[in-house]
Amino acid sequence: MGKVIGIATRIEKRAPMVVYASAKVTFDKGVGDDSRGLIKGDRQVTVMTVESWEAVCAELDRKLHWTTRRANILIEGVDLENTTGNLLKIGKFQLEITGELKPCNRMEEQKVGLTKALTPNWRGGVMCKILSEGVVSENDQVTLGEKA
């Protein structure tokens, strides 16, 4: 079993990430009022692990804030590699993992070498769609369940 370490959103594309202690998770807006949270495709919420981020920073030999990755939820204690179709229960809401969150060109703008460091073993995290609404808060329990 894992737990939520951090929560972040952005109000528009390329805007700075804003960190919260808790946020609503809704079908219409994703996490908080995140600009990528609208229902379109399979990417309403993005989730990354502390363990992956620490491996990325070690490879870059530089400590970067996790929001550099621009993910919505940072968790620890759950392995997200190869989990497409599985369910993530976070607190009282549920997400379906729709695939690997592959790094984009924006990562290189943040730090040279970041795209390459995020690429192995799903280090960049996962993208998810919301199955049930709720509130996400730091320290919420996180469990990974089998495919529906």
Domain ranges of the chain: 2-145
Tokens of 120: 């192995």
What pLDDT digit, counting tens, does each position of 98-138 carry?
A: 999 988 778 877 888 999 999 999 999 999 999 999 999 99
Summary count for the chain: helices (H), strands (E): 3, 11
Name the percent of the chain lying above pLDDT 70. 95
Residue 21's pLDDT is 96
CATH class of 2-145: mainly beta
* Predicted TM-score of the model (pTM): 0.93
Of the candidates 45, 35, 1, 37, the one whose C-alpha atom is nearest the C-alpha of residue 15 is 35
**36 pLDDT more than 80:** no
Would you tell me how many other CB atoms lie within 10 Å of the CB of residue 142? 22
Residue 16's pLDDT is 85
